[in-house]
Structure 1
Amino acid sequence: MENNHWWNKSVVYQIYPKSFQDTNHDGIGDLRGIINRLDYIKKLGVDVIWLNPIYESPQVDNGYDISNYEAINPTLGNMADFQELIDGIHERGMKLVMDLVVNHTSDQHDWFKESRKGKDNPYRDYYIWRDGKEGKEPNNWGSYFSGTAWKYDDETDQYYLHLFAPEQPDLNWENSQVRRSVYDMMNWWAAKGVDGFRMDVINLISKPAGLPDADKNDDEKYANVEPLVSNGHRIHEFLQEMNKNVMSKHKMITVGETPGATPEDAEKYASLDNKELNMVFQFEHMGLDSNPNPALGKWDDRKTSLKDLRANLTKWQEKLYGKAWNSLYWNNHDQPRVVSRFGNDQTEDYRVKSAKMLATMTHMMQGTPYIYEGEEIGMTNAYFPKLDDYVDLESINAYHQLVDDQHLLDGKTMMKYIALHSRDNARTPMQWDDSQYGGFSDHTPWEKVNPNYKQVNVKNALADKDSIFYYYQKLIALRHTLPVITNGKYALVPGNEEDDQIFAYTRQDDQTTLLVILNYTDETVNRHYQVPVNAKLLISNYVDDQNDTIRPYEAKVYQY
């Protein structure tokens, strides 16, 4: 099946506005900062800019607690700035995707303020309120941010559900008026010219009937609810209704964040018949280095093996081919930096080589690639040494729960895990140059700057013709010009399934074959692949080709 929608050949650039560029001297990034950097983003060659939430918010969870869906957070600017931004994006031939956060709101949203006034308030049923059981919470559900998922409200003697922070009450999607309010808001933004939505934890909106207890192990005080609340029984009904009321009226790009989704789930969400979403963000490859103990979740220091990574990426490429559309990503605002996590940031040469290798791995696959700010220059984890250095609510809560409360880890071990996996690694300010605070601001930033900003920054990257930036630029240009990258069938090279060093795969259509060879290690290895005499070396992260000798983190793509 041919994939001819405009977004099939597109590449998306994700911006975390608080950390991108500060222009009003308060240490927090703003819309004006994005406006001032649009030419840089255009130079990279991407088609779409996705903004993390810019709505009015108390910022308990960095903007994912929205108090007004139709207002800009004052720290970021105002609606006039937004209009200038979207006009500037469109003038440069790019499109804008907004973050849609409708599983929950802020407890400061007018809907919730009304809801908690009383059981007979018209907005009461906008949220999920329940009586307690035997003086405790309505069920054993745990929050994604640690602790219980229920908050007691003594004014009305009931609990409300919050799968995330207590200040983020969950909306009741069973209420048709809630759904209508959400669709009206989405159409309001579409009328302003927004080209699409990235939908935050969208597959959690359909809660199980009766809100039963979830399974939990003995180490857990509260249950991990994801298996129970993800991909709920009415989710496809809700998304098809949303598509009919919003997306089908506009030529939008939509991607749903879907924790716990399998390829079979993704086929339903992102089917090529376009009845729901265009694609989903799944997390299986992001969970390969999680702790074997479910009570510890992502907190570990293991590195993902190539065998596991290759098997997982291959599964998604093969199972969605001709049925649904993949999203391709390594980084986002919730994940550690790819070069630190899957590559090697211990030497400058390995940082550059491994960043390029990992970019090649995904950009040569079928799907829409997402690049997170700073990925294109090889920004690394910050590895902050003290808990006081961290801002991320998830990391801080996890430390206190796992170390202080449950004594599952000692402090030194947990700090090592946080340095590797904290969301702060993605949220350190963008490194523009080698001036104070990396050129992000002339004021102390809201989040510390990575200490390596003097070496790793945009100014240095643009001055070096062999930089990671220009490598990404070339990968993007190839996606725009080679149909095989959009429509070609993916296949592992026979015999590569168990190789623990080399990842080799092909993409093939009726006219063209691409052979992708990637060294996932810091060792030089020898492998022989049947490369035709007439093959062209399309792209590589080394200046020469030594054929069967594959050097540390080498990436090369042949076309024939």
Structure 2
Amino acid sequence: MKKQWWHDKVAYQIYPKSFRDTNGDGIGDLRGVISKLDYLKELGIDIIWLSPIYQSPFADQGYDISDYYEIDPRFGTMEDLQELIDEAKKRNLYILLDLVVNHCSDEHEWFQKALKDPKGEYGDYFYIREGKDGKEPSNIRSYFGGSAWEQIGDTGLYYLHLFHKKQPDLNWENPVVRKEIYDMINWWLKKGIAGFRIDAIMNIKKALPFHDYEPDREDGLADCRLMLNENEGVMDFLKEMRDATFQKYDAFTVGEVFNEKKEELCDFIGEDGCFSSIFDFSQTVFGASEKGWYDNGPVTPDDYRKCCFDSQERAEGIGFLSNIIENHDEPRGVSRYIPEGECSDAAKKMLAALYFLLKGMPFIYQGQEIGMENVAFESIDQYDDISTLEEYQVAIENGLTNQQALEAVRRYSRDNARVPFQWDDSENAGFTKGMAWLPVSKDYPSINLQHQSADPDSVFHFYKKLIALRKNEEYKDTLVYGQVIPAYLEMERLMAYYRNGEHEKILVIGNFKQDEQEIDLVEPYRKILLNNYDTVIETGKKLLLKGYQVLVLLF
């Protein structure tokens, strides 16, 4: 594998609205990010991905962009962003922006012009179609529920929105639209941005002409992914974008790509791939039901292990995946992958080590490094996320009681990750001196950075050790480039793998349950590189792992 500048880096995702508020309006801002750059440097972070900060009406928390060249006043100014870029560079930190180009906002100038003349130049910037028999052009359902088509006034015309109705899809078949997008990307790269996380990118290619599919719910609609599964030619768009933009600046790019086929992986992340990396979502999509969140199946420890190893196997020899346990669109990883009732600091540290030391680019989501958990909101009225509100209604319509529906969305709500960062145990967890835009989780007095910074045995300090280990010059080649070889697969609720390098091998092994487990070591180890307990119990070649103990052993 050709070595790249970003291979040995560690990335951190910031959801600016919930990170740090400096002006008391209850919304995090760019000055808040600037104020915490030293903290991120201390943690060991290299690359910072900012969720959208562009001008937006916030129908979908900034993923509906009304001006790609402006900063939303909620977050600050372009001068604030330039200061952030400059201050980051002083600390050898790189800034990524979110690239949202499948859709824009219905308040964007292009769409406003399209509404005035749907059959004119700007109408062709979007997918505007005649209705069919007095109904929508096709029966595809948007990701947020309901038809993916919205009627334009009292005309017989409809526009496509695979997400919220205020997020009209851009027509990538139009070369003028593509050029507008590439010009915008290059404008940001010239400002000193190091690259992008690329949002919902597999949606840019539609299967045309639009047609109906077999309904999969009583609403008579069909999952829009059925249409996307039919499309062909998305790679042509992606490689054109790469050549016109990213490649010219040696930018780091990570794509939000779901359900890619193994034979396509090289096109995405191979040596001549369209992106530097793509996220591994195999664990996050496991158990998902077409019926809705209320019907999702659990991810058991053995399921989690299989998802990780399957992803590692298909990426080996091709390129780097980006590894996560959570992000702004997912519940907290420790609440999702650790069985209910078993969440503890030991379990949080174990999960951290198991995912972080896989081959690929490790991403940490804000608050993950202190083990933030899912939120126990008591009413559906406390949720802000449009997906959560839609899934709550889906559960009710399928016969669940209000309480059952609330429990269902609690497990998967995006707001679990969007509540304010818990800096300390003061009011609003130190996030704001005003009224936080989303309620602070009630567990902040016990789970916060201030307490954990003072405790050398905390989850926070374990993450620091993990990052330092991956960057340690002595082991870096093995932990960055070494092949992943699964081990002890015959044992239940135990996840173990070797990282095989040219001159050494390292075993990462975690006991994914509360009871002790004994394992037979194939050979004696030379050194313990990391342990989430104070001791190791061993007899000869036998190793006794305590509940949720994780060890990193050098052989």
Q: What is the deviation of 1:272?
A: 2.3
1:76 counterpart = 2:69: no
The equivalent residue for 2:120 is 121
Q: Which amino acid is 1:133 matched to?
A: K
Label 1:253 to 1:377 Cα distance change in 2 as closer, same or farther (>3 A).
same
Match of 2:482 among 488, 499, 521: 488
Any conservation in 2 of the 1:226–1:260 contact (CA below 8 Å)? no
Partner of 1:142 in structure 2? 141
Report if aligned partners of 1:107, 1:167 keep a CA contact under 8 Å in 2.
yes
Aligned 1:425-436 pairs, distance under 5 A: 425-436=416-427
Q: Is the 8 A contact 1:19 1:430 kept in 2?
A: yes
Q: Which residue of 2 aligns with 1:327?
A: 322
Alpha carbons 2:280, 2:311 under 8 Å: kept:
no
Q: Distance in 2 between matches of 1:87 and 1:329?
A: 28
Residue 279 in structure 1 maps to residue 277 in structure 2: yes
CA distance in structure 1 between the partners assigned to 2:381 and 2:224 by the alignment:
29
> For 1:264 and 1:299, how far apart are their aligned partners in 2?
33
8 A Cα contact 2:302 2:494, kept in partner: no
**For residues 267 and 222 of structure 1, what CA distance do their matches in structure 2 show?**
34
Q: How many residues align?
A: 548
Which residue is equivalent to 1:389?
Answer: 382
Per-residue CA deviations over 1:385-426 (Å, capped at 9, x if unaligned) read 2101111111112212331xx334332221111111100000
Indicate if the aligned counterparts of 1:503 and 1:518 stay in contact, CA closer than 8 A.
yes
- Would the alpha carbon gap of residues 23 and 344 (structure 1) be closer, same or farther in structure 2, given more than 3 Å must change? farther
SS at match of 1:453: coil
* Separation in structure 2 between the aligned mates of residue 332 and residue 268 of structure 1, nearest angstrom: 25
Corresponding residue number in structure 2 for 1:306: 301
User: How far 1:498 sits from its partner (Å)?
Assistant: 4.0
Select 1:363's aligned residue among 335, 356, 375.
356
1:336 to 2:331 alignment: yes
Aligned to 1:108: 107
Q: State the SS of the aligned residue for 1:241.
A: helix
* Maintained 8 Å contact 2:300/2:339: no
Q: Secondary structure at the match of 2:444?
A: helix
Counterparts of 1:270 and 1:175, CA distance in 2: 26
The answer as to whether partners of 1:220 and 1:295 remain within 8 angstroms in 2 is no
Aligned partner of 1:353 among 339, 343, 346:
346
Map residues 467-506 of structure 1 onto 2, 5 A cutoff: 467-481=458-472, 482-493=476-487, 496-506=488-498
What's the counterpart of residue 258 of structure 1?
257
CA distance in structure 2 between the aligned counterparts of 1:185 and 1:158, rounded to whole angstroms: 29
Inter-partner Cα distance in structure 2 for 1:234 and 1:525: 50
Letter of the aligned partner of 1:192 in structure 2?
Answer: K
The CA deviation at 1:459 is: 0.4
Change (3 A) 1:360 1:192: same
CA distance in 1, matches of 2:424, 2:395: 38
Matches within 5 A, 1:402-417: 402-403=395-396, 406-417=397-408
Q: Corresponding residue for 1:514?
A: 506
Q: Please tell me the residue identity of whatever aligns with 1:26.
A: D
C-alpha deviation, 1:219, in angstroms: 4.2
1:530 partner amino acid? V
**Deviations 1:357-396 (CA, angstroms, capped at 9, x unpaired):** 1111111111001100000000011121210111111111
1:317 corresponding residue in structure 2: 312
Match of 1:420 in 2: 411
1:124-156 Cα distance to aligned partner (Å, 9 max, x none): 100000111111110010010011100001254
Alpha-carbon separation, structure 1, partners of 2:305 and 2:215: 30
Q: Residues of 2 paired with 1:271 and 1:413: CA distance? A: 45
Please tell me whether residue 92 in structure 1 is matched to residue 91 in structure 2: yes
C-alpha distance in structure 1 between counterparts of 2:491 and 2:227, whole Å:
36
What is the identity, as a one-letter code, of the residue corresponding to 1:480?
K
1:303 and 1:353 mapped to 2: Cα distance? 21
Secondary structure (helix, strand or coil) at the match of 1:172 reads coil
Query: Does the residue aligned with 1:50 lie in a helix, a strand or coil?
Result: strand
Deviations 1:462-516 (A, max 9, x none): 11111111211121122223211111111111xx334221111111022010111
The one-letter amino acid paired with 2:428 is Y
Distance 1:272 1:246, change over 3 A: same
Any runs of at least 4 consecutive aligned residues in structure 1 with deviations exceeding 6 A, and if so which? none
Deviation at 1:283, TM superposition (A): 2.3
Q: SS of the residue aligned with 1:299?
A: helix
Change in CA separation of 1:519 and 1:221 when aligned onto 2, cut-off 3 Å: farther
- What code does the residue aligned with 1:447 have? L
Deviates more, 1:367-376 or 1:300-309: 300-309
Match of residue 440, structure 1, among 417, 427, 431: 431
Amino acid at match of 1:17: P
| Distance 1:262-1:448 versus aligned 2 partners, 3 A rule | farther
Whether 1:541 and 2:532 are equivalent positions in the alignment is yes
Does the CA-based 8 Å contact 1:116-1:156 persist in structure 2?
A: no
* Other-structure match for 2:204: 205
CA contact (8 A) 2:518 2:544 kept: yes
**1:187 & 1:352 partners in 2: Cα distance?**
44
Aligned equivalents of 1:84, 1:390: Cα separation in 2: 33
Letter in 2 for 1:122: E
Which one-letter code corresponds to 1:400 in the other structure? Q
Q: Which amino acid aligns with 2:513?
A: T
Contact 2:305–2:495 (CA<8 Å) still a contact in 1?
Answer: yes
Could you report, residue by residue, the CA deviation over 1:414-440 in whole angstroms, capped at 9, with x for unpaired residues?
A: 111111110000000000000000000
Q: SS where residue 116 of structure 1 aligns?
A: helix
Alpha carbons 2:207, 2:230 under 8 Å: kept = no
Cα displacement (A) at 1:214: 3.1
Question: 1:213: Cα distance to partner?
Answer: 2.2
- Using the alignment, how far apart are the partners of 2:162 and 2:228 within structure 1? 10
Distance 2:504 2:213 in 1: 50
Contact 1:86 1:193 (8 Å CA) reproduced: yes
Question: By how many angstroms is 1:218 displaced?
Answer: 4.7
Report the CA distance between 1:221 and its aligned residue: 3.2
Matching residue within 373, 377, 380 for 2:366? 373
Structure 2: how far apart are the matches of 1:263 and 1:500?
27
- TM-score, with normalisation over the residues of structure 2? 0.96
Letter matched to residue 523 of structure 1: D
| SS of residue in 2 equivalent to 1:6 | coil
Q: Percent identity?
A: 39
Per-residue CA deviation, residues 232-285 of structure 1 (Å, 9 max, x unaligned), is 3121101110111001110111011012324333332111224x1011124221
Distance 2:205 2:553 in 1: 46
Contact 2:205/2:234 (8 A) holds in 1:
yes
Question: Residue 307 of structure 2: SS of its match in structure 1?
Answer: helix
The 5 A counterparts of 1:115-264 are 115-154=114-153, 156-219=155-218, 221-229=220-228, 232-264=231-263
TM-score (ref. length: structure 1): 0.95
Q: Distance in 1 between matches of 2:6 and 2:213?
A: 38
Question: Structure 1 residues 191, 230: closer, same or farther in 2, change over 3 A?
Answer: farther
* CA deviation string 1:285-329 (max 9, x = no partner): 1022334xx212x33574312222212211111111111221100
Structure 2 CA distance, aligned partners of 1:334 and 1:234? 27
> Any stretches of 5+ residues in structure 2 without a counterpart?
none
- Contact 2:304–2:337 (8 Å) recurs in 1: no
